[in-house]
Amino acid sequence: MKEKLDITASIVLYNENLEELTKTVNCFLRVPLKKRLFLIDNTQNKLFQNIFKKQEIEYIAVGKNIGFGAGHNMVKDRISNNSNFHLILNPDVNFQEGVIPNLIIELKKDENVSMIAPKVLFPNGDHQYSCRRYPLLSELFARRFTFMKPIFKSTVYKGQYKDKDLNNSFFAEFITGCFHLYKTNDFLKLEGFDERYFLYMEDVDICRKIDNLGKKKIYYPKEEITHVLKKGSSKSMKLFFRHTLSAIKYFLKW
């Protein structure tokens, strides 16, 4: 019987900064574990086909933009019975080689935990509020339209767990999807991401599904990563409408 990999990871590619992506890929390749990285190319012209040629990398050309969740779901058959842990990774994330092994140690400690994620920092070292309570509609409006923030200040404050000590681990309601480390079997039990979300809210949705599985998610700030965070929906009207549509789908579902 073929021995399982310690970890697999997937990155969905579309309109990526190649320098940032290369840094992310290299971060994963430096992890001292048996591993495999899947690069899912959502571009129509296979723009990333011949860029990364390493034995531990498998390139998957989709040929069209199928979205974030559906892209990551492309690897479900490939990781089934093939890895112990699976990482959902954004293409603009950097981390030290010990982060993943240390997170795996923590994830192994509790059979009721399906997913773990580290503290997330901006490149300048500022804290990103990556672990949050499940969003309220008012909070989403306040975060999108800054003039509304004073009205819903307490809602946003509580939603970002600013009432907790974020230097300590705890079971968060949801964790943003730039870096989700799953037990592979649990990720498969969840059937991956709900593909009805093309972009945005799929990370909140899968955390809800973990709840329904009777499992938990842990925020573990002893390990840190850096995330560029594009905030595309605040800069692009097209992405803003995608975010709005996903939010509608989320609140209709949950």
- Residue type, position 223, single letter: E
Report the alpha-carbon distance of residue 49 to residue 37 in Å, rounded.
14
Q: Which domain holds residue 109?
A: 5-253
Q: How many CB atoms within 10 Å of residue 216?
A: 18
**Gap between the Cα atoms of 134 and 104, Å rounded:** 25
pTM of the model: 0.92
pLDDT tens across 209-224, in order? 999 999 999 999 999 9
Size (the chain), residues: 254
Q: Provide the pLDDT for residue 241.
A: 76
pLDDT the model gives residue 35: 98
The span from the CA of 104 to the CA of 113, in Å, is: 11
CA dist 32 and 15 (Å) reads 29
**Can you tell me the mean pLDDT for 113-122?**
98
Percent of the chain scored above 90 by pLDDT?
78
Q: What is the CATH number of the domain that holds 136?
A: 3.90.550.10
Residue with tokens 């290299």: 26
Checking if the pLDDT of 232 tops 80, the result is: no
- Which pLDDT score, from 0 to 100, does residue 234 have? 45
* pLDDT of 157 above 90: no
**In this predicted structure, what is the pLDDT of residue 2?**
73
For residue 233, name the pLDDT band (cuts at 50, 70, 90): very low
Which of 145, 250, 237, 157 minimizes the C-alpha distance to 198?
250
- Mean pLDDT to the nearest integer, 124-142: 82
Q: Tell whether the model's pLDDT for residue 150 goes beyond 90.
A: no
Above 60 in pLDDT, residue 231? no
pLDDT tens profile 23-64: 999 999 999 999 999 999 999 999 999 999 999 999 999 999
Task: Return d(Cα 38, Cα 49) in angstroms, integer.
Answer: 12
pLDDT band per the 50, 70, 90 thresholds, residue 127: very high
Per the structure block, which two tokens stand in for 32? 């001292």
CB atoms inside a 10 Å sphere around CB 208: 16
Is the C-alpha dihedral spanning 90, 91, 94, 99 positive or negative?
positive
Residue 159 corresponds to which tokens in the numbers above? 């939603």
Q: Structural domain tally of the chain? A: 1
163 neighbors 157 (Cβ within 8 angstroms): yes
Q: Is the pLDDT of residue 235 over 60?
A: no
Using one digit for the tens of pLDDT, what is the confidence trace for 78-102? 999 999 999 999 999 999 999 999 9
The full DSSP string for the chain is: -PPPEEEEEEEEESS--HHHHHHHHHHHHTSSSSEEEEEEE--TT-TTTTT---TTEEEEE-SS---HHHHHHTTHHHHTTTEEEEEEE-TTEE--TTHHHHHHHHHHT-TTEEEEEEEEE-TTSPEE--EEPPPPHHHHHHHHSGGGTTTTHHHHHHHTTTTS-TTS-EE-SEE-TTEEEEEHHHHHHTTSS-TT-SSSSHHHHHHHHHHHTT-EEEEEEEEEEEE----GGGT-HHHHHHHHHHHHHHHHH-
